[in-house]
Structure 1
Amino acid sequence: MAGPISEMNRLYKYVAPSSPSELIDCSNFTIDFENRKFLNIGFDPKDKFNIVLRIITPARYVNISPDFLKRIYSFMGNILSHILDPAVKYKKFTFLECESVLITSMVYKGEHVLVVESKETSGCRILLNRRDLMTIQDLEWMIFETVSRKINIVRPNILNQLEQISEYFKTDFNIDKSATLDEVISIIRGIHIELIAKHIQKNKQSFLTQIILFATEQLAINWMTKSRNSLKTVDAPTEFISPTKRNEMHDAEELKVDRVFSSIYKRYEIVYH
């Protein structure tokens, strides 16, 4: 008996995860209010503003992609069938896996629960019981309606406003080309949001404040890239032209122009005389 218990303790020993990044345009769904389990859907600035579905509890969280959630829903019948089976102590079963998430089952407080674990961030793991899974199943259509709207409508607006803010910074503020990322981030935090808003195109869906607060690092990188790309160098001429030769070329061009005007003048005389 000691063997299996020690093995389970080793597998599921608590490791405090790092704080999750803030999501832009975050929508929230309640899975279990009493136990503080929620599903957040929003855009992660640290992941190229891709949409993220985050299951969050008081002490842990796991990020999953919409595509992986579709796989979970397609397998939900098998998952629920297993969860509803009589509990067999210390038996672990693997359901799904991708590069970033592993889904298994375990016995917790006398019943089967689903374990959703991040393979990228240590300590990011949440447990879902039968009631949690039934709630998630009921939310399926609302979740994917929200995901579709955000991807097709909201994300282009966020990226467009990010570009406008970066362009305003590049045009109205000068940064030293040797400035570090941290220094540029400090500069951005010192610019008043109301001042930025005056130079950004009006939009019914404004994400200005969220971009400034939650995507400061991405703004700084974008600004630095634009500033460095605008520093164009002028290539030296491939052939050195002496002053004497330059004058000769200028005289030849003037002679060519005189001949053109002379020809036009002669045609004018023929037509009107």
Structure 2
Amino acid sequence: MKTKTIWASLFAALALIVPRVALAADPCRTQEFEGIPFSVCEARAGDDIRLWLKDGTGALIGTPERLRAQLAPSERLVFAMNAGMYAPDRQPVGLFIESGVELRPIVTAEGPGNFGLLPNGVFCIGERLRVIESRAFAAAPPACRFATQSGPMLVIDGALHPRFLPDSDSTNIRNGVGVSAEGDRAWFVISDRPVTFHRFARFFRDVLGARDALYLDGSISRLIVPAEGRADLGLPMGPIVGVVAPVDGQD
């Protein structure tokens, strides 16, 4: 835990001093909430949103450089970030579906750590973009091209997770995903300074209007936005979520 805290402090400091390239059409934006800057990357249901874990040889991808190597010459990475909790070997802790194939099963039991702080949930990428409580997902699994399980839920049908405390002193760099009530939009967010769960959840609900939102990771969270020159430093990732688009001028 001490090592993770040191990394979190380092990332927070770097976020304040590393310059970013401002483009006419930035894929992500910065929004402040209660004095804290949050980086928000928005995607729509028709966008090419993917999850990655391993390359074609079975090796874990883990880094921005290896991730970009998975794309076709006609494709570019718009943004990417951590996509959920993982074990020391960087394998997903819970459900993971990639290109329609279930690589890890769903976990519905209560357990230790943030993942086991029920209710937790699943981010499902299908015709709609959905964040679904894990036991509800297990009872009636929707069709997902990609899906990742993490926890805890941040926002559940418009309400904050019942275990979050407004006066908590537990702060971290955090990243997560929230979805609109219609399922047509998803917001991928990372706090650029340490925040509590309560403040992070309220940002999704009160600023972005997310009906449901899911915590993805904490002090080791990273955001990669090539067009802005942003590639947060950190340890290799486990599951990764991101958006891919055609190279300019190609369809």
Range into which the TM-score falls when normalised by the shorter chain: under 0.3
- Say which structure is richer in helix: 1
Larger Rg: 1
- Say which structure is richer in strand: 2
Greater relative contact order: 1 or 2 (C-alpha under 8 angstroms, separation 6 or more)? Answer: 2
